[in-house]
């Protein structure tokens, strides 16, 4: 009975403070939903199954039809910190291209959000599913942000996407400079169509730029 109706066994991917990323075979984890799971973690020389209660921040499907879930661990602060310490000692699996379904475009777009430190940032790169940004302060992982990207396209100058912060660090080379990674959550269907159109355009422009630089280099040799 427990095997049929107990908490789902999920695969550990990463943890940052109380923000836990795991892989699930089921689509039952909706944003805002509280889920009970058994996290499969490699500790020492054995795989252990840790019971957890989490609230889901975002979910997206991977090419193998499983789901990548970003969540926040629930519980009292002392128990949660003990669990985080245990999980943080586990090795992270290398998901490679599996976790990155779309190509990253190295591009600097201005973006605005009331949830950003200083209310503004610039993208370092972005994909169909998320972005790396430079900002003016740290962002707590799990923070939900409504980010307006200045696309500078004639038919779509701006677009607002909902995202969740996955990680945030200070840049070692520059003072008072920070980077953060955000994962786009499920958008309104119309917004998703516009974003896919914008991403395809940016990817095309990036490819054309790379080809132009390559041709210029060939002629200069």
Is there a contact between 13 and 23 (Cβ–Cβ < 8 Å)?
Answer: yes
Instruction: Specify the pLDDT at position 38.
Output: 94
- Series of mean pLDDT values for 10-residue runs along the chain (221 residues): 68 84 84 90 85 88 80 85 88 59 83 96 90 92 91 90 86 78 86 92 77 42 52
Instruction: Specify the pLDDT at position 215.
Output: 36
Compute the distance between CA of residue 198 and CA of residue 185 in angstroms, rounded to an integer. 17
For the chain, the structural domain boundaries read 2-93, 100-187
Class (C level, CATH) for 2-93: mainly beta
Token pair listed for 6: 């107990």
Alpha helices in the chain (DSSP H): 2-5, 77-88, 189-220
What fold, for 100-187? Thrombin, subunit H (2.40.10)
Instruction: Specify the pLDDT at position 53.
Output: 93
Compute the distance between CA of residue 70 and CA of residue 55 in angstroms, rounded to an integer. 9
Instruction: Specify the pLDDT at position 80.
Output: 84
For the full predicted model, state whether its pTM sits above 0.75.
no
The answer to whether the Cα torsion of 103, 107, 112, 116 is positive or negative is positive
What separation in angstroms does the CA of 108 have from each of 4, 16, 84, 155?
49, 26, 34, 19
What separation in angstroms does the CA of 36 have from each of 11, 28, 50, 68?
13, 11, 10, 16
Instruction: Specify the pLDDT at position 173.
Output: 67
Instruction: Specify the pLDDT at position 160.
Output: 96
Domain 2-93 shares a fold with domain 100-187: yes
Compute the distance between CA of residue 192 and CA of residue 161 in angstroms, rounded to an integer. 9
């Amino acid at each position: 009975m427990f095997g049929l109706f107990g908490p789902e066994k999920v695969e550990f991917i990463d943890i940052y403070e109380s923000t836990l990323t795991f892989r699930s075979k089921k689509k039952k984890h909706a944003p805002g939903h509280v889920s009970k799971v058994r996290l499969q973690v490699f500790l020492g020389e054995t795989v252990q199954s840790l019971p957890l209660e989490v609230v889901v921040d975002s979910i997206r499907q991977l090419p193998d039809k499983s789901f990548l879930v970003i969540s926040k661990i629930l519980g009292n602060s002392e128990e949660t910190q003990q669990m985080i310490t245990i999980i943080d000692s586990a090795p992270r699996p290398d998901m490679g291209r599996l976790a990155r379904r779309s190509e990253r475009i190295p591009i600097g777009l201005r973006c605005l959000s009331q949830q950003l430190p200083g209310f503004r940032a610039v993208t370092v790169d972005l994909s169909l599913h998320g972005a790396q940004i430079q900002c003016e302060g740290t962002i707590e992982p799990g923070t939900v942000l409504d980010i307006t990207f200045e696309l500078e396209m004639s038919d779509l100058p701006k677009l607002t996407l909902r995202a969740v912060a996955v990680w945030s660090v200070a840049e070692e080379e520059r003072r008072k400079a920070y980077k953060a990674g955000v994962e786009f959550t499920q958008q309104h269907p119309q917004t998703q169509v516009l974003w896919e159109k914008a991403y395809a355009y940016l990817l095309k422009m990036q490819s054309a730029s790379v080809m132009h630089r390559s041709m210029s280099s060939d002629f200069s040799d």
